[in-house]
Amino acid sequence: MFNLILFGPPGSGKGTQSEKLIAKYGLKHLSTGDLLRSEIANQTPLGVEAKKLMDKGQLVPDEVVIGMISSALDTNPEAKGFLFDGFPRTAAQAEALDKLLELKKTSIAVMLALNVTEEELVKRLMKRGETSGRSDDTNENVIRARITEYHNKTAVVADYYKNFDKVVMVKGEGTVNDIFSSLSAEIDTRI
């Protein structure tokens, strides 16, 4: 199995690059943002609660996303590997993920971290808000709150994987194809 974390702040291009990477490498895409938005669309109790936090730019509780990831791992026993997008987002989530993967006798091969300046992030998210239908992309205060959550709670996740020498920084500005080539080159040396 080859398991990869695509890491970076909101708007760094994780979703765009994930689509291309899963097509190229045949990995199963696990995006907690997408899983939560599907709960919201289905108006499940979990979705209703999560939406309140997401609309404020705050993270949803660790147990909620860990539970979603745990069942996604169980329902995809045939996967060649997983691409984690938007998860783990806290140190507790990273520890839980390691344990879940250990139970399946596998682990994270690498974390690819997209590096993008804050001004570029805000610009991209505001632009995405014009068409994405995502309520958390239309308000600059919510966007800034998400970036603050990233600095306060999520950036440490990279430190966690740095301890295991698993982090590779990749330039997240330039054309979609250039960034895809850089990410692919890193995967090719490890897969």
Q: Which of residues 14-53 bind ligand ADP (CB under 6 A)?
A: 32-33, 36, 53
Task: Give the side-chain half-sphere CA count within 13 A for 103.
Answer: 9
Residue from 65, 83, 157, 170 in contact with ligand ADP (CB under 6 A): 65
The letter for the amino acid at 167 is V
Q: What is the DSSP string of 90-149?
A: SHHHHHHHHHHHHHTT--EEEEEEEE--HHHHHHHHHHHHTTS--GGGS-HHHHHHHHHH
Minimum CB distance to ligand ADP, residue 88 (Å): 6
Residue 3 lies near ligand ADP (rule: CB under 6 A): no
The residue range among 16-24, 87-95, 101-109, 164-172 that interacts with ligand ADP, by the rule CB under 6 A, is 87-95
Minimum CB distance to ligand ADP, residue 144 (Å): 12
Q: Which residues 6+ apart lie within 8 Å of 60 measured at CB? A: 36, 49, 50, 53, 54
Which residues are catalytic, by number? Answer: 14, 89, 128, 134, 146
Residue written as token pair 């596998």: 106
Minimum CB distance to ligand ADP, residue 25 (Å): 20
- List residues binding ligand ADP (CB under 6 A): 10-11, 32-33, 36, 53-54, 57-60, 65, 86-87, 89, 93, 136, 146
